[in-house]
Structure 1
């Protein structure tokens, strides 16, 4: 009969996520992870698999609790245009508040170019974000609250690019006026009354 786990899995995953987020994937060793999680290497491997499997689980859990939760909240509580605006506002605020940046963006820059499985995971998650923008834009264009001059798919991709750019820019130059100004310009494309 298998023994029950003698550790708090949620706390262990939180600690591992923080290690990866703070130091990056390559610079985080299994020893670092074990120390942060309060687990020896054998226990870590038995519970979570290798470093790659643990990282994948941490990244997916981070995205479920952040990006996906935010999308669900905004889509269920706000009209489409307001949901997009609030998403960008929250990205700017989070970018300024947390010097570690976004774990998804950090992963896209550090790990994805060298790891096909992680690259696929990142691409899938970015597609989810693009899908959120596309759904909001399509509805807003139909009801007249969002400009219909440009294809919704193209604007969704521009908003995705804006999010990624804001997150990267905030790491190097966390200036509120800069980030807010960039977000404001992207959002100006939504205004039905704005000139072309």
Structure 2
């Protein structure tokens, strides 16, 4: 007869996600995870599998949370420009109680070159972000806010690259005002 779990799976997964985000994959040991998650080693293995499986589950959870947060930043009453500013504002400042940077971007720079599963997750996430940006840019192009000299797809790829750079810079002590200025310049470049 199996015992019922004495913990909330999503709650402890969130704890693992934060630890991986703070320390990175390589630096995080199983002992660190057990301590930080507040569960027994056996429960960790039974519920999440090995460290790599847990890491992939943490990335998936992170991707879902970020997508939900970014989507919630877009309001029907906004202009496309306002929607882009809201998304970038979220990326730069609205996560001050969380580790710096972006778990996914951090993981890509640490592991994607040698971990096919992390690479695949990053490509999936990056495509989702680019698709969202492309839809906003199309909206802005249709309303005359943004240039049509480049396709919405090209401009989305450009803005996504800027967003990755901002999240990498966010890992350092770069002033948030500088990052917000980069956002201003980037969005101004889209104007028609």
TM-aligned CA deviation for residue 130 of structure 1: 0.4
Change (3 A) 1:179 1:165: same
Counterpart for residue 106 of structure 2: 106
Counterpart for residue 21 of structure 1: 21
Counterpart for residue 44 of structure 2: 44
Which blocks of at least 5 consecutive residues in structure 2 are unaligned?
Answer: none
1:131 aligns to what SS in structure 2?
Answer: helix
8 Å contact 1:95–1:170 — kept in the other structure? no
Counterpart for residue 128 of structure 2: 128
Q: How does 1:59-78 map to 2 (within 5 A)?
A: 59-66=59-66, 68-77=67-76, 78=78
Distance 1:97 1:146 in 2: 33
Which blocks of at least 5 consecutive residues in structure 1 are unaligned?
Answer: none
Render the CA deviation track for 1:49-93: whole Å, top value 9, x for unaligned. 111111111111112112x11232134543323211211122121
Counterpart for residue 118 of structure 1: 118
Render the CA deviation track for 1:154-186: whole Å, top value 9, x for unaligned. 110110010011111222342133212211110
Counterpart for residue 6 of structure 2: 6
Distance 1:162 1:76 in 2: 22
8 Å contact 1:96–1:174 — kept in the other structure? no
Render the CA deviation track for 1:94-131: whole Å, top value 9, x for unaligned. 47775532111111111212201110101110110000
Distance 1:40 1:97 in 2: 27
RMSD over aligned Cα atoms: 1.8
